[in-house]
Amino acid sequence: MVTSMALAIALWPTQVTQYCPPSNDTLIVGVAFNNQNEFLYCELFSQISEKKFHSDYIRESNTFATKDLDFSNSLFLPDVTQLDFRSGELREATINKHQVNLKYREEKNRKDEQVNLARNEMDALDAGFNDFIRAHWDELITGNTLTINFGSIAHQKTLPLRISQRSSEKCGNILNKECSPAPFCFMIEIDNMFLRLLVGNIKLTYDKQHRLQEFNGTVNIQNNKQKSQNAIIHYYYINDYLPVPNIK
């Protein structure tokens, strides 16, 4: 046990191991900070099968939330089950041929809220957004702005988003000022001026292998007071792991 843990830790850079305890099954680690560069939590991603993934959210070696993703029905609209053990908050999405069922529970003592939305009116959901960007890569890097309907489990509806490429300096490398800017920077904005003022935008940086490198914006993990929070998450991949499904 000790030997296997030591080997697992040896595979990751110190930027990961000083905060996160990756296991032998961990393929991707996300290290989250707030805007004051204070550590928030780790995301540890493992792959269960070709199209199924599991994430543990950890702070101080304590798993406080988990997420399961199943891309069997759709590359951009995965089945989702996310549970926060601290409050009992539940985010769940179930996909069938014609509909997407979104279920949300604010805390364990509240009733589940759910809605059925037409599948053909939703372009991406949860982590499927990352695959959507990778699938439309050529359109984005040639200067096109894409408008999509994003399924928000917590809001129980779709949100109109627009995606556009920006100069690398617009994203920069927020967690390490000494590093050069990432090769690709994308801005995600709500395609509604009033909502955009309330929610703000999200910045995503990608490396040359089209892997998400840094996320900067509102996350779907609440803070300890059960409030939404912004985070800057830097992602690390073991042995140049390329997420599956492989979009090129």
What gap in Å lies between CA 23 and CA 8, rounded to an integer? 6
Collapsing DSSP states into helix, strand and coil, what is residue 87? coil
Determine how many CB atoms are found less than 10 A away from the CB of residue 134.
19
Q: For the chain, which residues make up each domain, given as ranges?
A: 2-240
Residues paired with 214 in a beta bridge? 205, 234
Give the single-character DSSP code of 26: -
- What does the pLDDT look like over 48-102, one tens digit per residue? 999 999 999 999 999 999 999 999 999 999 999 999 999 999 999 999 999 999 9
The model's pTM is: 0.90
What gap in Å lies between CA 65 and CA 198, rounded to an integer? 27
Question: Which is nearest to 43 in space by CA: 60, 28, 53?
Answer: 28
What gap in Å lies between CA 169 and CA 56, rounded to an integer? 32
Is there a contact between 130 and 78 (Cβ–Cβ < 8 Å)?
Answer: no
Question: What confidence score (pLDDT) does residue 100 get?
Answer: 98
Question: Which is nearest to 234 in space by CA: 14, 12, 16?
Answer: 16
- What does the pLDDT look like over 102-114, one tens digit per residue? 999 999 999 999 9
- What does the pLDDT look like over 192-242, one tens digit per residue? 665 555 557 899 999 989 999 999 999 999 999 999 999 999 999 998 777
**Torsion 18-56-130-220 (CA) sign:** negative
- What does the pLDDT look like over 12-40, one tens digit per residue? 999 999 999 999 999 999 999 999 999 99
Q: Is the pLDDT of residue 2 over 60?
A: no
